[in-house]
Amino acid sequence: MMKRFTYALFVFLFFHISSNAQSNWDSDLIPDSLKEDANAVIRHSSTQYVRTGLSTYEKSIHYIVTILNESGESTAELRIYYDRNSSVDDISIRLYNQQGESIRKVKSKEVADYAYSNSYTLFTDSRIKHYTPAYSHYPYTVEYSYTTKHKSVVSFSDWYPTDWFDTAVEFAELSYSTPVDFDLKYQAFNTEFEYSSTNDEKTIHHVWQAKNLQAIPNESYTLSYQQLLPVVMLSPVQISFEGYEGNFENWQSMGQWVAQLIQGRDQLPQERLAEITNLTDTITTPKLKVKALYEYMQAKTRYVNVALGIGGFQPLTALEVDEKGYGDCKALSNYMKSLLQGIGIHSYYTVIGNGKYREIKYPDYSSLNQTNHIILCVPLEKDTIWLECTNQNYPFGYIGASNANRFGLLIDEQGGTLVKTTNYLPSENTRNSTIAVVLQETGEARFNSQTRFKNYLFESVFSLVHSSAEEQKKMLLKAFSIDGLSFTNFEIANPEKSLPLATVSMEGTISRYSQKAGSRLLVKPHFLFENLFPSRLDQDRKASFFLANGYTTNDTIQFEIPTDYTIEFTPKDLTLESTLGNYSLSYEVTEENKLRIIRSTFIKPGNYEPALFPEIDLFLRTCSGKEEDKVVLKKI
C-alpha cells in the first residue's frame, strides 16, 4: 500500500510542478524563431515511464501545444491507443484562447472510445480514445494529461519531442524510472538532448530534455521521419508478454524469443502432406518445387490481419491456416515454411521492417520497434529465395521495394541472425516503351503504345493488373493528364506470373497533339509516361534529397507525319551526366515522313546533401526544359 501511495504522490507532484512551471500560455510569448516553418508549437511536453515489474509499467503524459493555423490541427488531436493488456486513467483536457486564458475543461463523455481496426483485420483488441478540439480561432492552445497502465512489457514507443514535421518545441522531457533488476537500452538521434541519470539501491532514473527545437519542414524526397526528427529510442532488455518471457539484449536473444513463439506451430494434416508431396514429386529442381508450393499457398490462402493479444506476435498454427484459408504475415509465412518443411526444404521465418517508416536501421541496437512484418527466406545450394507471403498475386521470389535492400532477422533454434534482403539495382528496375504516332493535319494524332515495367517500376502498375477494366481506364486517364486523350483499346497484364513484369498496351487518340501555325505544325512529343523525377529542386529546402530506389527508363516515339508535310526542324540532341544520373534525348529522321525520338534515363539511388543541390537542380531543370522543345513540320 505504501509503495502505491508513494508512486501516486510522485506523479501528482511531477505534474503539479510541471504544469505550473509556466502558467501563461499566451501565444505571443512564443519566440519568433520557433514560429518559423511551424504550424504548431509544443509549449510543454512530459512523458514519464515508470516500470514496476517484469511485465508491468505505467506511462504518464502531460502535453500542452499551441495551434498556429489550420495546418496544425492534427497536432491538437488526442489519440490514446490501448488493448486488453493496458488501460487508460485520469484523462484531463483543457482549452486556452490566444491570450492563454482557459476557455473550458473538456468533459470525459466528449472523448470518443472505439475499436481501432481496418478492412483487412479480422481479430483485434486494439482500441482508441480520441478527441479533436472543435475550435478554430487561431492561435489557440490545448492541454492534455493522462496515464496508461500496462500489464505486458515487450517494447516502448520511440519518443519524438516534436511529434511530427512543421512542429516546434519550447520544452519537452522524457523520464524513465526502473527497478535496478530491469535493464534499459536507449539511443538518441538527430539532436543534442540534455541527458542525466541517477540511481539509488533500488531504482535507476533516466531523463532526457529538449528545449527550443525549431520546426523541421515536411519536404518531399526525404529520408524517413525516424532519420530526420529528434528521437530517443527505448527498448527493454527483460521482457514478458502474456507469459512469454525473453531477453532483448541483442538480435540473437530477441530471435530466441520469436523462436519460442513459433515453436510447434508447423504441423500439417497428413492429407495435406500427401497432396504437396504428390504436387512436387515430379518436379526436378528445388527452386521449381519452392515455386510450385508458393503458388499453391497463394491460391489456397488470403491475407487477414490478426492482432489479438499475443496473436500480434505469434502466428496462427499451420493447421489453423490450412483449415481456415487465411492468416496474417506471421501465419502465412509460418504456413509456407511448414509446406516447404513437408517436402524436406528448409526455410527461415524472418522478422523485418516493412516500408519507408519501419526498417532495421541500427544493426547494433536491437529493438522490436524497428520491425513490423514477417517474410520467408529459403536458402538453396546456389541461390537464396525471398518470399513475400501476404500478397496472393505477387510473382514468385519478388518481395517488393518495401522489403528490399534492408536487414531481416532470420530465426532458428539458436536465435536471430541479421542478413540483408534482395537489392533491386537501378539497371534492373526498368520501364521500356515504344509509341507509334500518326499525326493528322488537324492536330489530332492516333497512337499505339507498348510498355513493359519490371521490378520496382512494376509496382507502379501492379495494382492495375488485378483491377476491373473500368478502374484501369479511370486510373490511366488520371495518370496521363493529357488534354483530349481517349482510348479505343487497352490491356494491362502480368504475362508471366512468376516474373515481376507488367505490360501496358494502349491504342487511342489525342485530339490536340500538335498546334497549327500558318503552314506549319508545332509538335511537342508526348511520351505518355512522364519522367519519374521532379522538374526542379528547391534550393531553400532544409533536408537532403533522398531517393530510395534507382531505375532505368527507355522511351521511343515513332512519328508518321502527314503526307503533304515535311520535317523542317528538330531540336538538338541532348546528353547529360550528373551525380544524380544520366539523361539523353535524340531525334532521328529514319525515312521520308518518319521521325524517331528516343529518351533514356538512368537515375541512381542515394542521399544527396545540400552541397549537390545546384548541380542536381540544373540537371532536373535542363531535362524538364528540353522536353518542352517542339518539332516543326512545314506544309509542302
Pairing type for strands 514-517 and 501-510 reads: unpaired
Rounded to whole angstroms, how far apart are CA atoms 360 and 377? 17
- pLDDT of residue 270 exceeding 90: yes
Q: Report how far residue 537's alpha carbon sits from residue 286's, in angstroms, rounded to the nearest whole number.
A: 49
What average pLDDT score do residues 150-166 get?
94
pLDDT of residue 481: 75
Q: Which pLDDT value is given to residue 121?
A: 53
What is the reported pLDDT for 11? 44
pLDDT of residue 117: 66
Q: Which residues contact 182 (CB under 8 A, 6 or more apart)?
A: 51, 54, 236, 237, 238
pLDDT at residue 253 tops 80: yes
Please count the other Cβ atoms lying within 10 Å of the Cβ belonging to residue 169: 26
Which pLDDT score is estimated for 617? Answer: 96
pLDDT of res. 120: 52
Averaged over 577-589, what is the pLDDT? 96
Average pLDDT over residues 532-547: 92
Instruction: Output DSSP code: residue 313.
Output: T
Section 86-91 average pLDDT: 94
Distances from the Cα of 575 to the Cα of 603, 619, 631, angstroms: 14, 11, 18
Written as one string, the DSSP assignment of 176-223 is EEEETTS-EEEEEESS--EEEEEE-SSEEEEEEEEEEEPPPP--SS--
For the stretch 171-200, pLDDT in tens is: 999 999 999 999 999 999 999 999 999 998
- The percentage of the chain sitting over the pLDDT mark of 90, rounded to a whole number, equals 83
Instruction: Determine the Cα angle at 184 with ends 178 and 189, to 5°.
Output: 125
Query: What band does 136 get if pLDDT is binned at 50, 70 and 90?
Result: confident
Across the chain, what does the average pLDDT equal?
92
* Mean pLDDT value across residues 511-529: 93
pLDDT value for 13: 46
pLDDT (average), residues 104-115: 92
pLDDT tens sequence across 295-315: 999 999 999 887 656 667 899
Distances (CA, A) of 272 to 99, 339, 342, 387: 71, 9, 9, 21
Q: What is the mean pLDDT of residues 537-565?
A: 94
What was the pLDDT predicted at 9?
43
- Confidence bin at 335 (pLDDT 50/70/90): very high
Residues 316-345 have a mean pLDDT of: 96
Give the Cα separation of 491 and 450 in Å (integer): 10
**Residue 315 exposed, middle or buried by CB count within 10 Å (0-12, 13-18, 19+):** buried
Reported confidence tier of residue 500, pLDDT bands at 50, 70, 90: very high
Q: Report the pLDDT value the prediction gives residue 10, as an integer from 0 to 100.
A: 45
Residue 1 has pLDDT above 80, yes or no: no
Task: Write the pLDDT tens digit of every residue in 400-451.
Answer: 999 999 999 999 989 999 999 999 999 999 999 999 999 999 999 999 999 9
How far apart are the C-alpha atoms of 138 and 148, rounded to whole Å?
31
- The percent of residues above 70 in pLDDT, for the chain, comes to 94
Read off the pLDDT of each residue in 556-572 and give the average, rounded to a whole number: 95
pLDDT at position 7: 43
> Cell numbers at residue 288, please?
521449381
Q: Is the pLDDT of residue 108 over 80?
A: yes
Name the residue among 64, 67, 116 with its Cα closest to residue 93: 64
Under a CB-based contact definition with an 8 Å cutoff, are residues 182 and 189 in contact?
no
- Statement: residue 41 has pLDDT above 90: yes
pLDDT band at 126, cuts 50/70/90? confident
Phi–psi pair at 271, nearest 5 degrees: -65, -30
Q: Using the predicted structure, report yes or no on whether residue 45 has a pLDDT greater than 50.
A: yes
* Res 6 pLDDT > 60: no
* pLDDT tens figures, 437-471: 999 999 999 999 999 999 999 999 998 998 999 99
Binned at pLDDT 50, 70 and 90, residue 123 comes out as: low
